[in-house]
Structure 1
Amino acid sequence: MSKRILNVVTNVGHYDDPSHPTGLWLSELTHAWHVFERHGFEQTLVSPAGGHVPLEPRSLKFPNYDRTAKAWRADPARMALLDTTAAPDRIDSADYDAIYFTGGHAVMYDFPDSTGLQRITREIFERGGIVASVCHGYCGLLNTQLSDGTYLVAGRKLTGFAWQEEVLARVDELVPYNAEAEMKERGALYEKAMLPFVSYVVVDGNLVTGQNPGSAKATAKKIAALL
C-alpha cells in the first residue's frame, strides 16, 4: 500500500489589518506535493475550517513563483483542491502516515488553536507517524499537547521561520506574535541556519521541520526518506 500524507493549509486571507492580504505560501505546498507525488504517496488537503484556501500574493511573484507553483495554478483540477479542502472532523488520523503543515503568515491565525488539527497531530505522532512543518507551518505545533499533557514540541529540536526573517521580510509589525519566541517558551529546542532564507531542515525522531519557503523541498525529501 502507498503511504498517505495529510497536507495542512490555511483558510485565512489577511492579517489583523484587512488591507494586508496573506494566505497559503503556494510553493510550500507544491514543492512538497511534487516530491510526495514522485514517491507515489496519496495526498489529502485539510484546513482548520475546511473549504477555500486563499493564496499569499507574495508567493505568486518571482523567485517564489516557480515551475511547480505555476503548474498548479494553471491546472483547474489542482486549484479546485484548494476550494474543497477537508475539515479536521472529516479526517481519521489512522488513514495517514504523515501530517505536513504548510506555511504563509496566515497560518499564524488559524493553525495554533485548531483542536481538530491538534487531535490529528497528536494521534499520528503518538503512534510513530511523522509530524512535519515548513516555515510558519510550525505554528500548527505551538499548542498541540500529547496525551500526558506535555507540549509535543517540548524538549524537541525544530526549526521554523525565524524572527530575523520576519524583520527582513518587513512584516514584523504586522504579525500577531513572535513564533520563534513562542516556540522557545513552550520548551522547543529551536534552531536556525547561520544565514536567513537559506534551506534548513531539522529532524528529531519523527518530527521534521523546515525553516522557510526555500526549505519545503528538502523537508519533503526528509519525510519521504523516513517513510
Structure 2
Amino acid sequence: MTKRVLNVVTNVSHYNDPSHTTGLWLSELTHAWHVFAEHGYEQTLVSPTGGAVPLEPRALRYPNYDKTAKAWRADPEKTALLEDTASPDQIDPAEYDAIYFTGGHAVMYDFPDSEGLQSITREIFERGGIVSSVCHGYCGLLNTRLSDGSYLIAGRKMTGFAWTEEVLARVDKLVPYNAEEKAKQRGALYQKAALPFIPHVVTDGNLVTGQNPGSAKATAKKVVEGIEGNASKERG
C-alpha cells in the first residue's frame, strides 16, 4: 500500500509587529517533499485553519532559495497547493504513516495551540506512526499531550531551532517566546549541534526532529527510515 505523509504548514504572515513579515520557510517543505516523493509517498498539506499559506521572504533569497524551492514556485500545480491547504478537521489521522511539521517563525504563533493538529499528532504517535518536525516546526509539539496527559516530548530526545540561532538570526527581539526553553520546560531532552546552523537530526523512537532549515532533507530521510521500518514490522 502507498505510504502517506501529512505536511503541516502555517497560516501566519507576520510577527506580533505587523511590519515584520514571516511565513513558511519554503525549503523546509520542498526538501522534505522531494525526499518523500522519491519514495512514492502520497502527500497532503494541512494548516491550522486551512486555506492559504504565506511565505517567509527571507527564505526566498540567496542562499536560502535553492533549486527545490525555485522549482516549486515555478510549478503552478505546486503553488496552488499552498493556496488551498486542508484544515485539521478534514484530516483522518488513520490514513497517514507520518506527520511532518515545517517551520518558519510564523509557526510559533499558530502551531502550538491548534487542538486539531494536537489530536492528529497524538493519534499518529500512539499507534507507532512517525511524528517529525524541522526547525521551528517543533513548536507544534510543545503543547501536544498523549492520552495519559503527559507531554509527547517529555523525556524524549529532540531538537529544533536553538535560541543561539535566534540571536544570530537577529530575531530574538521579535519572537514571542524561547521555543528551546519551552521544550525543556515540558521535559524534552533537548539537543543541538556543536555549531549553529549545522544540519542536525535527532531520532528517539518514532519521534524525528531536525534543528534548522539545513536539516530538512536529512530529517525527511530519517522519517523515511521510520516509515519503512514500520512497514517491515507489518510484513514480518
Report how far residue 151 of structure 1 moved. Answer: 0.2
Cross-structure match for 1:105: 105
- Return the alpha-carbon distance in structure 2 between the equivalents of residues 126 and 165 of structure 1: 32
Normalising by structure 1, what TM-score? 1.00
Secondary structure at 1:7's aligned position in 2? strand
- Return the alpha-carbon distance in structure 2 between the equivalents of residues 92 and 77 of structure 1: 24
Any residues of structure 2 matched to 1:36-47 within 5 Å, and which? 36-47=36-47
1:55 aligns with 2:55: yes
Number of residue pairs the alignment of both structures matches: 227
Normalising by structure 2, what TM-score? 0.96
Cross-structure match for 1:88: 88
Cross-structure match for 1:13: 13
- Return the alpha-carbon distance in structure 1 between the equivalents of residues 222 and 208 of structure 2: 7
Secondary structure at 1:78's aligned position in 2? helix
Cross-structure match for 2:29: 29
- Return the alpha-carbon distance in structure 2 between the equivalents of residues 129 and 68 of structure 1: 27
Any residues of structure 2 matched to 1:125-140 within 5 Å, and which? 125-140=125-140
- Return the alpha-carbon distance in structure 1 between the equivalents of residues 163 and 226 of structure 2: 29
- Return the alpha-carbon distance in structure 1 between the equivalents of residues 162 and 22 of structure 2: 18
Structure 1: tracts of 5 or more residues without a match: none
Secondary structure at 1:164's aligned position in 2? helix
* Partner deviation per Cα, 1:69-114 (whole Å, 9 max, x = no partner): 0000011110000011000000000000000000000000000000
Report how far residue 2 of structure 1 moved. Answer: 1.2
Cross-structure match for 1:164: 164
Secondary structure at 2:124's aligned position in 1? helix
Cross-structure match for 1:72: 72
Q: Which amino acid aligns with 2:101?
A: F
Structure 2: tracts of 5 or more residues without a match: 228-236
Cross-structure match for 1:121: 121
Secondary structure at 2:208's aligned position in 1? strand
Report how far residue 225 of structure 1 moved. Answer: 1.3
- Return the alpha-carbon distance in structure 2 between the equivalents of residues 21 and 77 of structure 1: 25
Secondary structure at 1:222's aligned position in 2? helix
Any residues of structure 2 matched to 1:135-146 within 5 Å, and which? 135-146=135-146
Structure 1 residue ranges, 4+ long, deviating more than 6 angstroms after superposition: none
* Partner deviation per Cα, 1:148-206 (whole Å, 9 max, x = no partner): 00000000000000000000000000000000000000000000000000100000000
Q: Which amino acid aligns with 1:142?
A: L
RMSD: 0.3
Secondary structure at 2:65's aligned position in 1? coil
- Return the alpha-carbon distance in structure 2 between the equivalents of residues 148 and 5 of structure 1: 25
- Return the alpha-carbon distance in structure 2 between the equivalents of residues 192 and 61 of structure 1: 25
Cross-structure match for 1:153: 153
Report how far residue 45 of structure 1 moved. Answer: 0.1
Secondary structure at 1:133's aligned position in 2? strand
- Return the alpha-carbon distance in structure 1 between the equivalents of residues 225 and 69 of structure 2: 23
Cross-structure match for 1:218: 218
Secondary structure at 2:45's aligned position in 1? strand
